[in-house]
């Protein structure tokens, strides 16, 4: 018995979304350890993981069998579906498996069960082995399970007639009682029809202990909870079993075990990497791609030389021509002419159709051919960019142009490619979203029906770092509070344990942000595809890594929002300057460099982080090369060189070169290695490398491959001898260059992004209104960014007008009021309003002109386009303020307004004259509810609710008169105007806390930092943990705190603003307030004020009331010698008709 082999033929990887929990790595290692010579992948309804599975197993000497579990239906049971398992015997079988997978996965929104008719399967049966499925859900087993033996008999007979000995009856043994009788019936069927039997175990998870997590996964997918769990066809036996377990389980039926090996022996196909197959460039005139490329490159070079005024310097022209011919020769020999032509074609089409295209990205900007045929916009010779960094004849690999397009119009580019090269030849590339730590906790917690607040608290204990997500196991190591919660609470412990099992599993399907595939042949004959709805471009079922191994070529069509922002700003500028073109601006604008030197880079691509602002203040850039350098340097590792770069630039530190021969290469960067290209050039100059060989050296240095490095070191030393560099010096230089190369940056990429950054900076310096209107339009769904931009506009003294139903659009716009240029807030940015609703309203407004009154607005605009929540948001944001109406009256009457509006629409439909056409005396506004106006506090809340941040009603604003009495600094002082060279001084700052963060220092001590805002901006303040606890204890979104702050310059982390102490504002300043002046619009609020004063404490302040009557301002002293505290200020700000608070 023990000499037998068993092969697992029913294995679900984590590509069986929301089902499988096994990975290809685990399966491969398991098979090696268990001495299983082969294994099949049978994911449900897809081939997502087939290539990965094939490669992993093959690399460890295990035979991979490519298969798929499919859902089939026929004329029985009202088209219910049942499972069969398909295994590919040969390449023909795999191709048929692909055809079936494509049928199942096309338009899955209509085919949600991903099922196919049995006739379609039989039509594409060649080269396939079919297994009959399990007892409960199997195509053959289920009817027996339900007592319909004849149906099972007819189905089995039908398949047998087509597949003969390639059809097997599956036998599965679990702890479900009913399967015993079903097995006997299947054995009888097998004998009667002479169909061989095979033992399988439908495997989904590693061991029995993972069954509960497996159930969680299913309930998460179905949005169910534990109490709604129904009897499942799965048990804890659905784990990946050893051959010993399976042989023992089928000891009485050894042939069922033996047939697993027979099936494996029948299967001789597996997926292996193929050579890349380039699509042909479509050209009706010439078939010789190189000839076409050469012609357009040469003519393109002539145009570029004229554009850049390089027409008289014959020596320089020859340098360009030589470089072009050299590149063309390499491209021709490597067979990549078609690739360049295809990329050039869709880039040119985009430019011809006014779709903004980036100047380049990645190493492709180093190609002069790419520059000549308009793929890139940077002169590689002028900026010292190397072709060999992009395409290396000594290291054959596909060129890879990363092209940025306007985010809004990227789909147009893809549609052009699809139409040009054939709908069936183009596909997007699939990606898989996985369950990350926080999501796993939240999903499992919901299934376990744990309190939301408890689950939310646990989830938030896991650090949120999108760029480098923290795993749950790592969080348990680093977050003491999380570990403590697990140890002290059984429910939390179970929550975390289950989450640990499912974390990292594939959860959903998406598409690659940039990549598309263009193939020479129809893709559905080459690889499996996936689409959710009819008419959309399908995605490949293999991810990016395995698409290339399947021999297909990826083209990157990236959507870059910044290009869209620049384009929209350009259009706004062209309203007053028709000939403006952003690509024609000078790169030596003093105003731009002055702005950058001050660190005023909010909104500037790549340069707006606080750390980058600090670097720019020190650097004081005055040339484009400085921007390239800082883009390259501002990353972990190279950052350490920023102080040296700054000091050398400004003559504080002496410029040194490792060898005098490097001066030409490193003079641009003051003797510091910054770019990968410099490493290549250094090897060329010092050790006689070709640039192509130098690129291989660069890669070896970057990867720290010791064997390759040792070989390269000897080659470098031998080459250095030619210019008389001694061995010891050559070794020293090699080691130093190697240290730099580990984090050297691609200059071509840095230069391309530096150009986009410069364009943004130029727009901000010269056209800030248009630039910020565009920025805010394309970040309108990002409240945090909008808030930052508003603060920056305040700093720049640029007025931003609030939303207005008559003047606002679906985008932020630039307008002039009273000869002052300003920005108008967008209606589409309001919460719950909706872009399409705003566009419909604007269409009406464009036809009839401005709305004369609120009645007029309701009469002509159907209010159902906004709905109740949309109208509420428009009202409380002040969008109807130009009608001089009470916000609260409108807000309280919205239900009546909607009814009124619907009545008008009904009248229009029935061709009746409506109320406003006939009876001018009647109006909607006269029937609004008679309620008091919103209080100061309510206006603050309303603005926050509708805009997502404070535009005009920041809580600090109501007490801003306090700045006249006390020497408090505003946020712009801390962000811009202090001198770090002077002795540290304490400053006082007031604001509301936006966010609280806790961290652990390197020595294990807890500390925190808070983000605090005032009317001007946001300040990040570092705090002792006890001060953090104080803020937490007293936190609410309207509570104003006062911070005693010290500004420090930390060598490692730059500028830090450190809290010395923190208090609630009025608890701290009340004893120094002489009087509180309250300005009211209606005497009715006096009663409310009196109520608030009943329990006020004794203190030093007087309270004076100023009532604005028809002709006079009446002063009333309500109380003397009282203590003004935070509670009192918050209470009175809730009283209607209180207009203003002054502190004296």
* CA–CA distance, 448 with 495 (Å, rounded to integer): 8
CATH T-level topology, domain 432-504:
Arc Repressor Mutant, subunit A (1.10.10)
> Which pLDDT score is estimated for 154?
94
| pLDDT average, residue stretch 511-533 | 88
Whether 775 contacts 789, CB under 8 Å: yes
- Is residue 1117 pLDDT above 90, yes or no? no
- Is residue 841 pLDDT above 90, yes or no? yes
Extents of the domains making up the chain: 24-203+240-266, 289-431+511-562, 432-504, 565-758, 767-947, 955-1070, 1075-1143
Cβ neighbours for 169, distance < 8 A, ≥ 6 positions apart: 132, 140, 156, 186, 187, 189, 190, 195, 196, 197, 198
Banded model confidence at residue 916, pLDDT cuts 50, 70, 90: very low
- Is residue 77 pLDDT above 70, yes or no? yes
Domain pair 289-431+511-562 / 955-1070, same fold? no
C-alpha Rg value of the chain to the nearest Å: 36
Largest Cα span, the chain: 109
* CA–CA distance, 658 with 640 (Å, rounded to integer): 18
- Specify the higher pLDDT residue, 18 or 265: 265
- Pairing of the two strands 539-540 and 426-434: parallel
Q: How many residues does the chain have?
A: 1144
What is the DSSP-derived secondary structure letter of residue 357? B
Does domain 289-431+511-562 bear CATH number 3.90.420.10? no
Banded model confidence at residue 919, pLDDT cuts 50, 70, 90: very low
**What architecture is the 24-203+240-266 domain classified under in CATH?**
Alpha-Beta Barrel (3.20)
Q: Which of 761, 437, 830, 746 is nearest to 621 (CA)?
A: 761
Whether 678 contacts 700, CB under 8 Å: no
CA atoms lying within 13 Å on the CB side of residue 749:
17
Banded model confidence at residue 921, pLDDT cuts 50, 70, 90: very low
CA atoms lying within 13 Å on the CB side of residue 509:
22
Whether 1134 contacts 1089, CB under 8 Å: no
Strand partners for 1076 = 1103, 1143
For helices 624-633 and 642-649, what crossing angle results, to 10°? 160
> Which pLDDT score is estimated for 4?
78
Cβ neighbours for 696, distance < 8 A, ≥ 6 positions apart: 392, 394, 395, 712
Banded model confidence at residue 922, pLDDT cuts 50, 70, 90: very low
* CA–CA distance, 1015 with 982 (Å, rounded to integer): 27
- Specify the higher pLDDT residue, 27 or 1009: 27
Whether 85 contacts 167, CB under 8 Å: no
* CA–CA distance, 214 with 174 (Å, rounded to integer): 16
What tokens appear for 833 in the block? 């309003």
Average pLDDT of the residues of the chain: 89
Compute how many other C-beta atoms are within 10 angstroms of the C-beta atom of residue 895.
10
CATH of the structural domain 955-1070, one choice from 3.40.50.2300, 1.20.1600.10, 3.50.50.60, 2.40.50.140: 2.40.50.140
pTM value? 0.85
What tokens appear for 483 in the block? 């570990």
- Is residue 929 pLDDT above 90, yes or no? no
- Specify the higher pLDDT residue, 858 or 604: 604
* CA–CA distance, 576 with 809 (Å, rounded to integer): 19
* CA–CA distance, 418 with 421 (Å, rounded to integer): 6
* DSSP secondary structure of 153-183: HHHHHHHHHHHGGGEEEEE---S-TTHHHHH
Whether 837 contacts 792, CB under 8 Å: no
* CA–CA distance, 174 with 180 (Å, rounded to integer): 9
Q: Which of 530, 473, 477, 524 is nearest to 502 (CA)?
A: 473
- Pairing of the two strands 1040-1050 and 986-1000: antiparallel
| pLDDT average, residue stretch 272-281 | 85
- Each residue of 360-413: pLDDT tens digit? 888 899 999 999 999 999 999 999 999 988 888 887 777 888 899 998 899 999
What tokens appear for 89 in the block? 């015997």
Which parts of 927-1013 fold into alpha helices (H)? 936-947, 962-965, 971-976
What tokens appear for 15 in the block? 């590509």
């Amino acid at each position: 018995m023990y000499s037998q082999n068993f092969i697992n033929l029913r294995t679900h990887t984590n590509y069986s979304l929301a089902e499988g929990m096994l990975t290809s790595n685990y399966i491969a290692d398991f098979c090696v350890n268990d001495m299983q010579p082969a294994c099949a992948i049978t994911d449900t309804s897809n081939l997502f993981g087939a290539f990965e599975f094939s490669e992993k197993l093959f690399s460890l000497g295990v035979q991979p069998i490519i298969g798929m579990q499919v859902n089939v239906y026929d004329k029985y049971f009202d088209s219910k579906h049942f499972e069969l398992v398909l295994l590919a015997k040969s390449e023909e079988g795999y191709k048929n498996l692909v055809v079936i997978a494509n049928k199942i996965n096309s338009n899955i929104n209509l085919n949600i069960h991903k099922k196919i008719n049995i006739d379609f399967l039989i039509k594409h049966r060649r080269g396939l082995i079919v297994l009959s499925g399990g007892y409960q859900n199997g195509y053959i087993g289920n009817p027996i399970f339900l007592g319909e033996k004849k149906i099972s008999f007819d189905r089995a007979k039908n398949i047998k007639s087509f597949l003969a000995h390639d059809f097997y009856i599956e036998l599965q043994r679990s702890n479900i009682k009913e399967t015993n009788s079903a097995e006997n019936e299947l054995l009888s069927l097998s004998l009667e029809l002479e169909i061989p039997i095979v033992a399988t175990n439908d495997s989904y998870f590693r061991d029995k202990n993972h069954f509960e997590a497996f159930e969680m996964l299913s309930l998460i997918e179905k949005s169910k909870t534990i109490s709604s769990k129904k009897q499942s066809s799965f048990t804890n036996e659905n784990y990946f079993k050893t051959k010993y377990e399976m042989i023992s389980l089928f000891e009485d039926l050894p042939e069922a075990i033996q047939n697993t090996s027979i099936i494996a022996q029948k299967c001789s196909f597996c997926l292996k990497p193929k050579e890349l197959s380039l699509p042909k460039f479509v050209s009706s005139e010439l078939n010789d791609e190189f000839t076409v490329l050469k012609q357009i490159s040469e003519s393109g070079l002539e145009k570029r030389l004229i554009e850049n005024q390089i027409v008289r310097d014959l020596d320089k022209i020859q340098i360009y021509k030589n470089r072009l011919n050299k590149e063309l020769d390499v491209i021709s020999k490597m067979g990549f002419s078609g690739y360049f032509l295809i990329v050039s074609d869709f880039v040119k089409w985009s430019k011809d159709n006014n779709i903004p295209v980036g100047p380049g990205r990645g190493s492709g900007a180093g190609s002069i051919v790419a520059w000549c045929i308009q793929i890139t916009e940077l002169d590689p010779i002028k900026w010292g960019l190397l072709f060999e960094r992009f395409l290396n004849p000594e290291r054959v690999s596909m060129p890879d142009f990363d092209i940025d397009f306007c985010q809004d119009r990227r789909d147009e580019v893809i549609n052009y490619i699809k139409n040009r090269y054939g709908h069936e030849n183009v596909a997007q590339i699939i990606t898989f979203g996985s369950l990350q730590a926080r999501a796993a906790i939240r999903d499992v917690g919901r299934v376990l029906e744990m309190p939301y607040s408890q689950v939310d608290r646990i989830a938030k204990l896991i650090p949120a770092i999108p760029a480098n997500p923290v795993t749950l196991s790592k969080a348990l190591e680093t977050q003491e509070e999380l570990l403590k919660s697990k140890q002290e609470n059984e429910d939390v412990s179970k929550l975390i344990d289950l989450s640990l099992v499912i974390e990292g599993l594939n959860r959903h399907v998406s598409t690659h942000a940039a990549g598309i595939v263009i193939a020479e042949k129809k893709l559905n004959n080459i690889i499996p595809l996936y689409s959710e709805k009819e008419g959309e471009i399908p995605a490949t079922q293999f991810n990016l890594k395995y698409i290339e191994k399947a021999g297909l070529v990826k083209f990157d069509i990236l959507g870059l929002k910044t290009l869209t922002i620049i384009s929209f700003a350009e259009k706004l500028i062209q309203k007053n300057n028709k000939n403006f073109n952003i690509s024609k601006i000078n790169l030596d604008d003093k105003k731009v460099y002055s702005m950058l030197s001050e660190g005023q880079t909010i909104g500037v691509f790549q340069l707006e982080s606080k750390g980058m602002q600090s670097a720019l203040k020190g650097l004081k850039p005055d040339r484009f090369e400085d921007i390239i350098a800082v883009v390259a340097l501002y990353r972990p590792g190279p950052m350490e060189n920023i102080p040296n770069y700054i000091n050398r630039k400004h003559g504080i530190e002496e410029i040194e070169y490792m060898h005098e021969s490097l001066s030409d290469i490193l003079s641009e960067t003051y003797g510091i290695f910054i770019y990968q290209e410099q490493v290549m050039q250094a090897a060329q100059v010092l050790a006689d490398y070709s640039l192509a060989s130098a690129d291989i050296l660069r890669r070896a240095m970057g990867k720290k491959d010791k064997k390759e490095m040792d070989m390269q070191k000897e080659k470098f030393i031998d080459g250095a001898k030619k210019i008389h560099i001694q061995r010891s010096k050559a070794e020293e230089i090699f080691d130093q260059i190697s240290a730099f190369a580990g984090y050297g940056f691609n200059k071509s990429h840095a230069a391309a992004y530096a150009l986009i950054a410069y364009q943004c900076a130029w727009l901000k310096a010269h056209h800030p209104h248009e630039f910020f209107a565009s920025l805010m339009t394309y970040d309108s769904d990002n409240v945090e960014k909008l808030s930052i931009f508003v603060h920056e506009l305040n700093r720049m003294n640029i007025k931003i007008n609030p939303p207005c139903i008559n003047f606002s659009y679906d985008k932020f716009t630039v307008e002039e009021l009273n000869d002052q240029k300003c920005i108008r807030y967008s209606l589409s940015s309001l919460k719950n309003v909706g872009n399409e609703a705003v566009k419909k309203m604007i269409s009406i407004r464009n036809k009839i002109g401005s709305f004369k009154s609120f009645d007029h607005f309701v009469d002509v605009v159907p209010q159902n386009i906004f709905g109740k929540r949309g109208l509420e948001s428009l009202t409380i944001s002040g969008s109807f303020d130009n009608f001089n109406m009470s916000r609260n009256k409108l807000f309280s009457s919205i239900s009546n307004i909607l009814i009124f509006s619907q009545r008008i629409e009904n009248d229009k439909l029935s061709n009746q004259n409506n109320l406003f056409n006939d009876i001018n005396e009647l109006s909607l506004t006269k029937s609004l509810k008679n309620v008091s106006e919103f209080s100061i506090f309510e206006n603050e809340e309303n603005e926050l609710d509708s805009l997502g941040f404070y535009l005009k009603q920041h809580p600090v604003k109501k007490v801003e008169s306090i700045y006249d009495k006390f020497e408090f600094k505003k946020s712009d002082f801390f962000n811009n105007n202090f001198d770090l060279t002077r002795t540290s001084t304490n400053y006082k700052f007031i604001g509301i806390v936006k966010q609280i963060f806790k961290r652990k220092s390197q020595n294990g001590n807890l500390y925190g930092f808070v983000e605090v805002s005032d009317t001007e901006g946001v300040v990040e303040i570092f705090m002792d943990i006890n001060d953090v606890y104080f803020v937490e204890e007293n936190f609410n979104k309207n509570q104003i705190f006062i911070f005693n702050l010290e500004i420090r310059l930390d060598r490692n982390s730059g500028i830090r603003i450190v809290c010395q102490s923190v208090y609630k504002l009025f608890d701290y300043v009340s004893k120094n307030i002489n009087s509180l002046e309250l300005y009211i619009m209606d005497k009715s609020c006096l009663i409310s004020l009196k109520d608030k004063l009943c329990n006020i404490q004794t203190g030093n302040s007087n309270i004076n009331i100023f009532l604005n009557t028809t002709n006079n301002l009446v002063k009333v002293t309500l109380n003397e010698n009282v203590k003004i505290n935070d509670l009192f200020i918050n209470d009175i700000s809730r009283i209607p008709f209180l207009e203003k608070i002054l502190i004296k």
